[in-house]
Amino acid sequence: MEQSTSSQKQERAQAFSALRKNYHFSEYELHDYAKDARCSWIAEHIESTMAQTLATRAYQAANRVCVGKAKRVRFRSQGRGIDSVEGKRNDVGMRFVLDPNAGDGGFLIWNEQVVPALINWRDPVVHHGLRHSIKYVRLVRRKASSPQAQGADKDGDRYSVQLVLEGHAFIKPKHEEVGKDTIGLDIGPQTLAIVPREGKADLVTFCEELAPDARKKRRLQRKMDRQRRAHNPENYDEQGRVKKHGKTRLRWKESKRYKATRRQHAHTERRLAAHRKSLHGKLAHDIVKVGNTIHIEKTSFKGWQKQYGRSMGLRAPGLFVAHVRRLVAKTGGTLVEVSAFQTKLSQYCHHCGRYVKKPRSQRWHTCACGLGPVQRDLYSAFPPFLPGTRANHPLHHPGDLGRCGAAPESRDGGSATTRE
C-alpha cells in the first residue's frame, strides 16, 4: 500500500510538472518575460535585477493560488502602486554606498538619483550591522501620520532603506542569557500557558498592556463612512446600501478630508501593531531566557480567525509563534510541534490514562480518579514532561506527530539577516 501511495504521488508530481512546462509557468519563465516587458520608460526606472525580483514576487503570488494556499492574486492598482522594491546585488542598479565624507556616512544610488541617508551611528544595532558587507538593498515606503510629519513628503509618505547583510544579527546584552530548560506552551486566542520542567508555571494574557481606543476607532470609521457617502451618492441605493454592480467595478471619489481621516485611522492601527510586536518580542525573550527547547501544539490559526476574529486580530498569537520560532532558531534551540488531533492534551488525564471531553467553558481539569482540580491550560502544557506518562502515549513519539526537530534556519543558512 505504501509503495502504491508513493508511486501515485510521484505520478501526480510529474503531471503537474508537465502542465507547468506546457504553459511556461515557472519563475525563470517570468524572468524572461520581464526582459521583454522592461522597455520604453519602464527601463529608465527599473533595471534588470529589480525586474527579476518583481517577477519572482508575481510568480510566488500566482503559485500560492495554484497550490491552494490562496484564493486569488492581489493586484496593485496604478494609484496605490507598490510599497517596496529591491535588487539582487549591491554593485548594480539600486545600491547603498558607505562614504564617511557624505552626510551621515552613506547614500542610496538609484539610476541618476543620489539620496543621502540619515544614519544613527550611536545605535549599537546599526553600528554592528554596517560593519558587515551588504548583500542587497530594499527601499520601503510607509504612510506617515500626515504630510507635516517628520521625514514625510508632500503625499504623507516616509521612505527608509533596509540593508540585507551578511553575518549574524546583533544580540543585545540583555538578551545574551539563554536558558537550557525544556518548556511546554499551550497557546489560546488570548492566553498563553507556560510550564517549564524546572521552574514556576505561569498563565499570561497575550499583550495585556495593549489598550486600543475602541471609541476613537469607531468614530473614525463612522466619519470615513459619512465622507465616502457624501462624495459618492450614486453608488448607494434608496436604503443606503452599496449598489450591486456585478462584474463592473464602482468608481469611488476620495476627497482630501477623507484621505486625511483614513491616514489618521491607519496611523492609529500602525502604532497599535508596533506596540503588539514589541510585547510579543519581550514575552518571547523572557521564555527563551528560561529554556530554548520548546513544545507546542500545532494549531490552525486560520481556523481560530473564524471563531475568535476579534481576539485574534488584537492579540495575534500566530505572530507570536512565528517570533518564537525565529528566536529559537537564532539561539540554536529546538522547537517541537505536536499534533493536537493525536495528543488531545486538554482531554488527557496522565493519572488514569483516559480521555474525557470537556466543554470550552470548563477551565479546570478534575478527573474521577481523584486528580485535580488543575487549571486546564496549564495542565495541557504539562503532560510532555511527566515521567508517569504512558509509554504508548503519542507524546513519547513526537516524530510521528508532525514537524519535530530544530526550528527552521534563516535564508542565510543559520545567519539571521541584519536590517536597518
Question: Read out DSSP for 97-113?
Answer: EE-TTSTTTEEEEETTE
Query: Residue 385's pLDDT is what?
Result: 57
Lowest mean pLDDT, pick from 29-38, 58-67, 369-378 = 369-378
Query: Residue 215's pLDDT is what?
Result: 94
Lowest mean pLDDT, pick from 126-130, 329-333, 368-372 = 368-372
Section 359-369 average pLDDT: 81
Query: Residue 386's pLDDT is what?
Result: 53
Section 390-404 average pLDDT: 41
Query: Is residue 303's pLDDT more than 80?
Result: yes
Section 401-417 average pLDDT: 35
Domain residue limits, the chain? 19-65+73-82, 94-165, 172-213+270-420
CA torsion 44-46-49-50 (nearest 10°) is: 170
Confidence class for position 28, pLDDT limits 50, 70, 90: very high
Query: Residue 408's pLDDT is what?
Result: 34
Confidence class for position 25, pLDDT limits 50, 70, 90: very high
User: What would the pLDDT profile of 202-233 be if each residue is shown by its tens digit?
Assistant: 889 888 898 899 999 999 999 999 999 999 99
Within 84-239, strands assigned E span 84-86, 95-98, 106-110, 113-116, 134-143, 157-165, 182-187, 191-196, 202-205
Residue 21, burial from CB neighbour count under 10 angstroms (0-12, 13-18, 19+)? exposed
Strand partners, 364: 375
Query: Is residue 360's pLDDT more than 60?
Result: yes
Query: Residue 4's pLDDT is what?
Result: 54
What mean pLDDT value characterizes the chain? 84
Pick among 3.40.50, 1.10.10, 1.10.1740, 3.30.420: CATH of 172-213+270-420: 3.30.420
Section 266-284 average pLDDT: 93
Query: For 323, phi and psi rounded to 5 degrees?
Result: -65, -45
Query: Residue 223's pLDDT is what?
Result: 97
Lowest mean pLDDT, pick from 240-249, 286-295, 346-355 = 346-355
Query: Residue 103's pLDDT is what?
Result: 67
The answer to whether the CB of 217 falls within 8 A of the CB of 265 is yes
By C-alpha distance, which of 217, 326, 215 is closest to 277? Answer: 326
Confidence class for position 383, pLDDT limits 50, 70, 90: low
Higher pLDDT, 415 or 289: 289
What is the distance of C-alpha 1 from the center of its chain? 39
Task: Let me know the angle formed at the C-alpha of 132 by 131 and 137, rounded to the nearest 5 degrees.
Answer: 115
The answer to whether the CB of 288 falls within 8 A of the CB of 194 is no
Query: Residue 353's pLDDT is what?
Result: 77
Confidence class for position 340, pLDDT limits 50, 70, 90: confident
Distance CA 325, CA 308 (A): 23
Using the CB atoms, write b or e for 37-76: b if 16+ within 10 Å: ebeeeeeeebbebbbbbbbbebbeeebeeeeeeeeeeeee
Query: Residue 371's pLDDT is what?
Result: 77
Lowest mean pLDDT, pick from 28-42, 168-182, 393-407 = 393-407
Query: Is residue 42's pLDDT more than 90?
Result: no
- Model confidence, pTM: 0.79
Amino acid at residue number 9:
K
Q: Which residue has the cell 491607519?
A: 266
Query: Residue 271's pLDDT is what?
Result: 92
Higher pLDDT, 349 or 159: 159
Distance CA 69, CA 393 (A): 32
Query: Residue 265's pLDDT is what?
Result: 94
